[in-house]
Amino acid sequence: MIILEVENLSKKFDSARVLTNISFALNEGEVLAVIGSSGSGKTTLLRCLNFLEKPDTGSVSFRGETLSNKNTRHLGLVFHSFNLFPHFTAFKNVTLARELAAKKNPEYKKNKKIILEEIQHDGMLLLEQIGLSQKKDLYPHQLSGGQQQRVAIARALALKPDILCLDEPTSALDPELTGEVLKVIRTLAEQKMTMIVVTHEMQFAREVADAIMFIDEGNVVEYGPVQLLDNPSSERLKRFLGRLRFS
């Protein structure tokens, strides 16, 4: 069943066109890996899906409902640079957004204790899920890069998004820390979390992705099942994969 449909999404900054008529559909429970060279438009695509950037043209639909900057709750975004609040503990980083959202609930004042207990309970479950329950009272500067990124993933999951978007979640990490973050994402894939993952880790993409989308200069060059990594039809994707193998 299609959960997300993107049609003819385009974006430019001043006179520079970054995305041109991007179209794709994502089924519930699938993982889409978005690949391409730096500057090809991958991050801008995720930001447009979450309406952190407003697309110039095109549409984004969730289960048939057209999304805008007023109803993006269905999508969560994990940045490659963590973006944790340095003055809050790991636990507070995970629970804060949901606490702020809960305060907008008309029932919040009357049921504050129950609501906060549920948020804190769920926050601890998420920290346990990513293997950091023992680090809940530590601040970001006391955590490794891999631990910070896992907290960032838990923070995004705390809002219970239907689709989790991850923007090169291992690009800011040393190689030895990459594995612990990829392990969390693999587990989410096994649990059938619908995800869009911008990644340069081709072996990881082969293992977890159901579909691959190769973007070059803001255009979708190839889009299809993960097997296209082993049998690309375009010269551009062949060259891209060749550069990765010899880099």
Q: Taking the domains of the chain in order of start, what are their residue ranges? A: 2-246
**Topology of the domain covering 2-246:** Rossmann fold (3.40.50)
DSSP state of 41: S
What does the alpha-carbon distance between residue 25 and residue 6 come to, in Å, rounded to a whole number? Answer: 6
- Residue 141 Cα distances to 46, 127, 137, 144, 147, angstroms: 27, 17, 12, 8, 10
Q: What is the pLDDT along the chain (247 residues), one digit of tens a residue?
A: 999 999 999 999 998 999 999 999 999 999 999 999 988 999 999 999 999 999 999 999 999 999 887 777 899 999 888 889 999 999 999 999 999 999 988 888 889 999 999 999 999 999 999 999 999 999 999 999 999 999 999 999 999 999 999 999 988 788 878 888 999 999 999 999 999 999 988 989 999 999 999 999 999 999 999 999 999 999 999 999 888 765 5
What does the alpha-carbon distance between residue 212 and residue 223 come to, in Å, rounded to a whole number? Answer: 6
- Residue 240 Cα distances to 12, 18, 188, 214, angstroms: 24, 19, 28, 9
Tokens 């009272």 -> residue = 137
